[in-house]
Amino acid sequence: MAYKNFGLTKSMEYLSGDPRVVVWTTLQIPPTKEIDTNHWNGLFQPLVHSVGHKETVWARVRDNPNVALLATLWWTASELREFEASPSAQLCQETLRQEDIIPISIHKTIYRVENWFPNLKDSFTQIFWVYFPAPVNESLQSRASKLVGIRPPALGPGVPQNKHRQTHLPVLQWATEPEVLRGKPVQLLLWPHFWSSEKHAEWRHEPYAQKRFIERITELNPAEWKEEIYDFTQISRL
């Protein structure tokens, strides 16, 4: 085994047959529950100490604080499967149950080479959840991959990083499995946008930017879509 950025893993390199995976877990939190950082971190210690775990961040949904999103990056899919079958996963589930914290949904996406996950905790993050009728064909995936999301005009060379509105380009993340939404099969496309600050994120409301983006999504004929805002915090090892 080897330490890599504080994460333990059995794999020393990216393997196409055993890719890195991001798990997106939506949690329902009791309305009256106050979140103490140390206590909250403690709930997920069996997760963050597991072999193959790379990093976990979480945030409450800006417009719905009774819902939180937990994002976990795993070094390999096989190590994720081992965790899911382990006593550590059962302990984590039982701990959340005792806190009346209920998992609402779990989605998995393949983490490729863009290296955007660290930007979640360093950004004011806007995620579009776009649901398409399933099954999704290669043509639709290809059309979606050509979209650029909401992107402000590029700044010239030599401009300080703190002047840039985004910390990373938007990324497209397809869920690995279809699901049922309102009684119909759908496939989820997650579309994170990484703004450098809440102030810089206001650019997304520019009429032309918003209008163009909505038009591009609509052209793909999704079943439905939503936008959510997050201010992610890393869950630390204790």
Condensed to tens digits (0 to 9), the pLDDT of residues 147-192 reads 888 888 666 666 666 677 889 999 999 999 999 999 999 999 999 9
Residues 100 and 127 in one domain: no
Residue 6 lies in a domain: no
pLDDT digits (tens, 9 = 90+) for 60-95: 999 998 999 999 999 999 999 999 999 999 999 999
Q: What pLDDT, on the 0 to 100 scale, is given for residue 207?
A: 79
Indicate the residue type of 233. T
Residue 225 has pLDDT above 90, yes or no: yes
Residues 108 and 129 placed together within one structural domain of the fold: no
Please tell me the predicted confidence (pLDDT) of residue 14.
55
Check whether residue 140 and residue 209 sit in a common domain.
yes
Residue 50 has pLDDT above 80, yes or no: yes
pLDDT at 231: 95
Asked, for residue 225, whether it belongs to a domain, the answer is yes
CB 149 within 8 A of CB 193: yes
Whether 236 maps to a domain, the answer reads no
Same domain membership, residue 188 and residue 104: no
> Same structural domain for residues 105 and 172?
no
Length of the chain: 238
Segment 104-124 shows an average pLDDT of: 94
- For the record, the structure tokens of 143 come out as 């059309």
> Per-residue confidence at 36, pLDDT binned at 50, 70, 90?
confident
Q: pLDDT tens across 206-224, in order?
A: 878 878 888 999 999 999 9
Calculate the alpha carbon distances from 176 to 105, 110, 140, 213 in Å.
Answer: 14, 7, 15, 24
User: Rounded to whole angstroms, what are the CA distances from 179 to 37, 40, 44, 102, 220?
Assistant: 32, 29, 26, 18, 19
In a domain, 11, yes or no: no
Domain, as residue range, for 176: 123-152+163-229
Local confidence band at 2 (pLDDT 50, 70, 90 cut-offs): very low
Hey, which bits of the chain come out as E strands? Answer: 2-4, 7-9, 20-28, 53-61, 64-74, 102-111, 124-133, 166-168, 173-174, 179-181, 184-195, 224-230, 233-234
Indicate whether 218 belongs to any domain. Answer: yes
Q: Are residues 43 and 99 in the same domain?
A: yes
| CB-based burial, 11-34: b 16+ in 10 Å, e otherwise | beeeeeebbbbbbbbbbebeeeee
Residue 211 is part of a domain; what is its CATH number?
3.30.70.100
Q: For the chain, what is the domain count? A: 2
Q: What was the pLDDT predicted at 213?
A: 86
